[in-house]
Amino acid sequence: MSIIDPSQNQQARLQLIEQLKRKGIRNLAVLDVIAKIPRHKFLPTTNAIYAYEDHAQAIDCGQTISQPFVVALMTQALLESGTLENVLEIGTGSGYQTAILSQVCQHVYSVERIETLHQQAQVTLENLNINNIKLRHGDGTQGWPEHAPYDGIIVTAAAKEIPEALLEQLTIDGRLIIPVGRQYVQDLLLITNKAGSYVIKNLDSVVFVPLLPGIEKS
């Protein structure tokens, strides 16, 4: 795993960490990794100045980088049962959530349907020397069966319903975190695989861009 230099924007990063603590993020590993990863490197130069504000921001291709609080909440929920070995992310986008996961999980796989974003994220993550991740251009509603089963799956786009393929790729006690609902508001669900039955917990109300079928080529 790479050690990332937190020296840039130190003040703004510490303020962000204080905000996340006030909003209820308690997991020290999560707070530590958010302090370490340079979020400004995942944003277009025009809005990189807002990188350490606790807001979602626009990235290319009409997509968004998630709000740091939501990234922290999802990562904290994923880690509740301890360190994870094999994690799948659906919706690489900027690669920011992938980078966060890379520091708290052993292997991270991430799928993105828009080729341009997939390629940009590949470059960003390589520049940060993050090498325990594998990215793929594809439709994440099918998961990534070749590397399954996963002890954690995070979906960072809003689904109308829970994709069956993702449930099938969970280990026993594996956790799926996914926003499910209508276009402008979704429930962030934590679903745990209890040997064929699924325990569902509602974590929060969130707004994500939609999970779409198929792929877009550049």
Size, binding site for ligand SAH by CB under 6 A: 23
Does position 97 bind ligand SAH by CB under 6 A? yes
Does position 68 bind ligand SAH by CB under 6 A? no
Whole-angstrom distance, CA of residue 63 vs CA of residue 208: 9
Q: By rule CB under 6 A, what string of x and - marks binding of each residue 160-189 to ligand SAH? A: ------------------------------
- Find the shortest distance in angstroms from Cβ 181 to ligand SAH: 15
**Which of 27, 66, 76, 124 lies at the binding interface for ligand SAH (CB under 6 A)?**
66
**Which of 27, 75, 76, 94 lies at the binding interface for ligand SAH (CB under 6 A)?**
94
Q: Which is nearer to ligand SAH, 139 or 151 (CB)?
A: 139
Cβ neighbours around 172 below 10 Å, total:
11
Q: Which is nearer to ligand SAH, 60 or 173 (CB)?
A: 60
Residue 66 annotated among the catalytic residues of the structure: yes
Whole-angstrom distance, CA of residue 15 vs CA of residue 11: 6
- Find the shortest distance in angstroms from Cβ 207 to ligand SAH: 11
Does position 211 bind ligand SAH by CB under 6 A? yes
Could you write out the three-class secondary structure of the chain?
A: CCCCCCCCCHHHHHHHHHHHHHCCCCCHHHHHHHHHCCHHHHCCHHHHHHCCCCCCEECHHHCEECCHHHHHHHHHHHHCCCCEEEEEEECCCCCHHHHHHHHHEEEEEEEECEHHHHHHHHHHHHHCCCCCEEEEECCHHHCCHHHCCEEEEEECCEECCCCHHHHHCEEEEEEEEEEEECCCCEEEEEEEEECCEEEEEEEEEECCCECCCCCECC
**Which of 141, 169, 186, 193 lies at the binding interface for ligand SAH (CB under 6 A)?**
141
Q: Annotated catalytic residue: which of 66, 94, 102, 110?
A: 66
Q: Which residue sits closest to ligand SAH, CB atoms considered?
A: 93
Q: Which stretch binds ligand SAH (CB under 6 A): 79-87, 107-115, 177-185, 190-198?
A: 107-115
Question: What does the binding site for ligand SAH look like in residue numbers (CB under 6 A)?
Answer: 63-66, 90-91, 93-94, 96-97, 111-114, 117, 139-141, 156-157, 209, 211-212
Q: Which residues are catalytic?
A: 66
